[in-house]
Structure 1
């Protein structure tokens, strides 16, 4: 068994900067700016049946959606990394040191992938909220929550000047139909998990049906959340379809372009690590009759890290 363990110091400064940038970008672009802009005011045709559906409570609330998104990504990544580290006979692992605490290799790898998932999620969140307020499409239950005052109109007449008497918060949300945030977020999490599994589970896995079964389960859960938005009269079918496409796109972009999951087989590239940090590399080579250990420091790593000791015959 050949095991390479690379111990690196936790680069607190860089981690904080990246977190600050992501959170700031998501907060300003996804909350502050949309609130300042406000939802676009759109009129409607008197005979438009697509916005006359009754208002219904969410089957999947926003809180449920967030729980699902984090659950499917975190559980998938942590469980997979733990399993393959526990059952791996060889490989290279990175350990992070936070003070005197050393984080296990599988958890380091899991945190790397989870961190990548948050980059794509933050960018998508901004796109979702800015699009909603810019387009201002009316939800299927708009007239039910708006309750227009003294509305009298004839068939095919377009009404632009009207006054809603319903709950202001519900009316505001009823102007944000395009595109479905639930669909985008649920499919982002599902697609990220599917692509992650595809990149991490070995092709020579003895039970071939495991991977497609796991991927199908995750995709179906994402689709069911998306479709619930149609049955709840929260979105038109086209809103949901676009949301699904956006979620799949951002997840694919994050996995393939940002995280480079399929370009780096040994995905130990830690995006926020300190490039010139002190580290210790431990190379352990075991044979049936002898074990040899080499501990390398930055001063002598050039020689010992490139030439691992050969086991005696």
Structure 2
């Protein structure tokens, strides 16, 4: 028993350490603190696709993180707590604190792991792609005295832009794929599947879960469209980000054992000769 507990604690420590490492690398890449810049891609001065005006974000990074990472974690805490309370009222038993924390850790942990992993792939892809945002020329504020637009293709160097905010200029060269779309779609897909699996006692109201899932979908569509209206991304960037978030959400739910829920199973015939169903969803998650 003691050996098993020690082993479990060791596994948790390793998992948290790995998650923190992935998160740290992702944040360093996101805030341009690695010393690595995106691939330098030239441009044409008359390229209309990068000539849109600069606009502030409709949905800022902080609001996005709060709504699509903070709120889902709160929802999972609420759902797991409700699960424990309902199991106690139905079965007359109390779920131990250890089991409750184990379920909560695995639900939240798999969500954060998938979110950080997809963000790491997204930030790495931004560096390799180096695609210019639709508002690049506005953000860059090209010094026409140093650029010969008549020659056609213009290469980007440190003297091309008059904007002194180098971080802002570098960000304008990281359009593909859309981070907002990736984060939003991952959360929508993961949370929709999670609620479908764990909110089983709400299925008596058959449109309750679908209503929540529809609301999540509307929020995701709004996020994606806002990135285009803010002149922050091309349509292809948003599609690629959405696909990235979708793929990672499905991979986490399908391949990560702690993210799957054991379905209800049937007992043998009871004394009355009828089949009875055991809802193992009430307490058991498949780890």
Report the alpha carbon displacement of residue 85 of structure 1 after superposing the two structures with TM. 3.1
Greater CA drift, 218-227 or 243-252: 218-227
Report the alpha carbon displacement of residue 259 of structure 1 after superposing the two structures with TM. 3.8
- Does the aligned pair in 2 maintain the 1:30–1:125 contact within 8 Å? no
1:21 and 2:15 are equivalent in the alignment? no
Partners of 2:202 and 2:170 lie apart in 1 by: 52
Partners of 2:41 and 2:247 lie apart in 1 by: 29
The TM-score normalised by the length of structure 2 is 0.79
Partners of 2:51 and 2:194 lie apart in 1 by: 42
Greater CA drift, 203-212 or 47-56: 203-212
- Does the aligned pair in 2 maintain the 1:82–1:107 contact within 8 Å? no
Partner of 1:298: none
Give 1:123-272 correspondences, 5 Å limit.
123-149=117-143, 150=145, 151-154=147-150, 157-160=152-155, 163-166=160-163, 167-202=165-200, 205-259=203-257, 261-262=259-260, 264-265=262-263, 266=280, 268=284
Partners of 1:231 and 1:165 lie apart in 2 by: 25
Where structure 1 has 5 or more consecutive residues not aligned to the other structure, the ranges are 1-7, 96-101, 272-313
Q: Deviations over 1:197-220 (max 9, x none)?
A: 122233882211101101111121
Give 1:95-110 correspondences, 5 Å limit.
95=96, 102=97, 105-110=99-104
Partners of 1:262 and 1:24 lie apart in 2 by: 24
Figure out how many residues of one structure are paired with residues of the other and give that number.
256
Partner of 2:274: none
Where structure 2 has 5 or more consecutive residues not aligned to the other structure, the ranges are 264-279
Partners of 1:124 and 1:159 lie apart in 2 by: 33
Larger relative CO (CA 8 A, sep 6+): 1 or 2? 1
The TM-score normalised by the length of structure 1 is 0.73
Rate the CA distance shift 1:147–1:32 in 2: closer, same or farther, 3 A: closer
The structure richer in strand per residue is: 1
Partners of 1:12 and 1:262 lie apart in 2 by: 21
Rate the CA distance shift 1:247–1:161 in 2: closer, same or farther, 3 A: closer
